[in-house]
Chains A and B, each alone.
Chain A
Amino acid sequence: MLEIKDLHVSYGAIKAVKGISFEVREGEIVTLIGANGAGKSTTLRTISGLEATAGGTITFMGQNINNMPPHKIVELGISHVPEGRRVFTNLSVIDNLKLGANLRKDKEAVKKDMKKVFELFPILEKRQNQLAGTLSGGEQQMLAVGRALMTKGKLMLLDEPSMGLAPMIVENIFEIIKEINNEGTTILLIEQNAYMALSIADRAYVLETGNIVLEGSASDLAENDEIKKAYLGA
C-alpha cells in the first residue's frame, strides 16, 4: 500500500533521514520505533507532505506522492494524527471533527462517520460542544484520532499517540487503534513506547539516527535481545 524507497530528508545541512526503505501492506499495523531524534516523526511528516524529500520515492497505492501538497495527500487517503495532538483548542469538539471532514462532500456519510467516532470515543460525544482546549490530554488524543478518522483515510499515520498520557489511558488508546485497524484502516504507528507499539503491531522497523537498523515481525522483535536492552528496559 505504502512503499518508501531510499528516502532522504534534511533540515538544512542536517540529514534527519538517511536513505530508509520500508513498506506498509494493506490491513497491517506497522510500527517504526526508535529513540528521540531517530527520524521517526520526520519520516511521517514527509509521507504527509509536511516536509520536502531530499531523495528517494514515496509510493502510495501505486502513485508517486513525493512532494505533493499535504491536502492532495490527504485526499488520496492518508490521514495523519500529528505529534502532540495539535487539536484546534479554541474550536469545539464538533468543529474539530468537522475540520477533519473538510475535504469531503458526502454530508450524509460525514454524519455517519461522526457517529462512529462517538461510538469509539463516547467521552467526545459528551463533550461535543466543549472547546477542545478544555479537554484532558487523553481526551485530546482521542479527538486527534477521531479527527483523523473523519478524513476517511485508508492509511492512518499515528505520531506518538502515547506521549504524555497516563499508562491506563495509553492502553485504552492502543485498544482503539487496534479496533480501527480491525475495521479496515491500515496503520503506520510511530512510538517511543516500544513495548506498547510491538504489542499491537504486525511488523516493526527500528530506526536509529536516520537509518533502519532492524526489521521483522513485531513478535520477533519483542523477543530480540538488543531491542529488549535498548527499548524495552529489560
Chain B
Amino acid sequence: MRLIKANKVYIIMILSYLLLETLNRLGILNSYLLQIIMLAGINIIMTISLNLVNGFTGQFSIGHAGFMGVGAYSSAVVTTVFFHTSSWPVYFQVPIFLVSLIVGGMVAGLIGFLIGLPSLRLKGDYLAIVTLGFGELLRASIRLIDYVGGPRGLAGIPKYTNLFWVFLFTILSIYAARNFVNSSFGRACISIRENEVASEAMGIDTTKYKIISFTFASFMAGVAGGLFGHLLMFLQPDTFSFLKSIDYLVFLYAGGMSSISGSILGAGILTAVPEFLRFLANWRIVIYGVLLVLLMLKQPEGFYGGKEFGFLKIVRQDKKVRTEKAS
C-alpha cells in the first residue's frame, strides 16, 4: 500500500497513458483527436522550455519557434535525407528516430548557445528584439538551404511520432525542468530573475547561468521540433515564424509564468480550445481571442501562476534534517 502511495504519480501517469492508448486502439479516439493530443504534448514541451528562459530566468525571448524549426529540420534530415530510414529494416527505424531527436536537440542547443553568447548580455525589450531577429533569421536561413527543400519544404518524413513517444518525452521534459528548477542551477537562474545585481554580488556568474538555461531550453525545443516533424510528416520553414513563437508566449502567460504546472495547463488547454471551437466556423478565432482577454483580465497570473502540482514540488531533504535536529 505504501509502495502505491509513494509512487502514485508514476502509477497515475502509466494508467493515463494506458487509458489513452486503449481508447486509441479501440478506435474511440479518432486520428483527429489523437493528433490534437500529440500536438498538445509537443506544445507542452515547448512551453516548459520557454518557461525556463522567460519564467524562471526572467529573460524575454520571443524567437523560440526558431529553435523548434532547427530541431525539426535537423532531426528530419537525419531520418529522411541522410539515412532514408524508411528503406531500413523496421527494428532499425525507431532507434534512428530516437537518435535523430537527440541530434535535433543538440543542433538546436548548439545554435541556442551561439545565439545566447552575444545576446544574453542584453536585457528586457532589447533581448526580445534580438531573439525575434535570430528566430526569423533561423527560419529564413532554412528557406535558403536547398538540401532540405528550401521554401518548398521537406516532404516524405516518415511518421514515427506516436502517442507513446510524445507521452514519454513530455514526461521526461516535465521532470527535467522540475529537477533543473530545483537544482542549484535553477536557484541561480531564479536569483537572476529576482535581482540581477544582487545575484552578481553573491558571486553568481549571471551570464553563464543565462546561457545555460537558454541552451537547455533550446535543446528541449529542438527535441519538440523533432517530434513535430515526424508527426506532420512535412516541414515548411514558414511554420516556424514568429507567429508560432507568439503562440508559445501566449501558452506560457495563460498557463502562468514560473510554473511548470501552468505550462502544462496553458499549452494543453489552449491547444485544445481552438479545435473544439471549430463549430463556430469563422467566429472561432474571435471567440478564442475573447477567451484569452477574459482570462488575462480575470486571472492575470494565468491558470496556475506561481503554484505547482504536488508531484512537481520537491521536498527538500535538508529542510527535514534541520527541523529534526532542532526538536
Contacts and interface: CB of A to CB of B under 8 A. Distances in A.
A50 B201 contact: yes
A75 B191 contact: no
Interface string A63-100: 00000011101110001101000111111001100111
B190 A74 contact: no
B203 A88 contact: no
Contacts of A80: 201-202
A74 B201 contact: yes
B200 A95 contact: no
B3 to A, nearest CB: 29
A102 B201 CA distance: 11
Contacts of A86: 195, 197-198, 201
Contact of A103 (B195, B201, B203): B203
Given A70-B203, A99-B204, A91 B319 contact: no
Nearest to A107: B318
A15 interface: no
B194 interface: yes
A48 interface: yes
B184 interface: yes
Contact of A99 (B187, B205, B318, B319): B187
Residue with the highest number of chain A CB atoms closer than 10 Å, among B198, B200, B203, B318: B203
A94 B190 CA distance: 14
Given A91-B187, A129-B319, A102 B204 contact: yes
A8 interface: no
A151 B202 contact: yes
B184 A88 contact: no
A90 B184 contact: no
Given A90-B190, A99-B191, A71 B200 contact: yes
B199 interface: yes
Interface residues of A, number: 32
Contacts of A125: 326
Nearest to A90: B194
A102 B184 contact: yes
B197 A88 contact: no
B187 A147 contact: no
A228 interface: no
A111 interface: yes
Contacts of B205: 69, 71
Nearest to B185: A102
Contacts of A129: 319
A11 B184 CA distance: 34
A93 B191 CA distance: 12
B197 A89 contact: no
A88 B194 CA distance: 5
B188 interface: yes
Contacts of A70: 200-201, 203
A100 B318 CA distance: 16
Contacts of A128: 319, 322
A71 B187 CA distance: 16
Contacts of A88: 190-191, 194-195, 198-199
Given A86-B195, A94-B319, A102 B202 contact: yes
A95 B198 CA distance: 14
Interface string A104-143: 0000000100000000000001001100000000000000
Interface string B161-199: 000000000000000000000001001101100110111
A49 B204 CA distance: 12
Contacts of B201: 48, 50, 70, 74, 80, 82, 86
A176 to B, nearest CB: 19
Interface in B207-243: none
A148 B199 CA distance: 11
Contacts of B199: 88, 99
B198 A87 contact: yes
B202 A147 contact: yes
Nearest to B203: A74
A134 to B, nearest CB: 14
Contacts of B191: 88, 91, 99
Nearest to B194: A88
A11 B72 CA distance: 46
19 contacts: A48-B201, A49-B200, A50-B200, A50-B201, A71-B205, A74-B201, A74-B202, A79-B203, A80-B202, A82-B201, A86-B195, A87-B198, A88-B191, A88-B194, A89-B194, A90-B190, A94-B319, A99-B188, A99-B199
Interface of A: 48-50, 69-71, 73-75, 79-80, 82, 86-91, 94-95, 98-100, 102-103, 111, 125, 128-129, 147-148, 151
Q: Which 3 A-B pairs have the closest CB atoms?
A: A74-B203, A86-B198, A88-B194
Given A86-B201, A91-B190, A111-B318, 14 more contacts: A70-B203, A71-B203, A74-B202, A79-B203, A88-B198, A88-B199, A89-B194, A94-B316, A94-B319, A95-B190, A99-B187, A99-B202, A102-B204, A128-B322
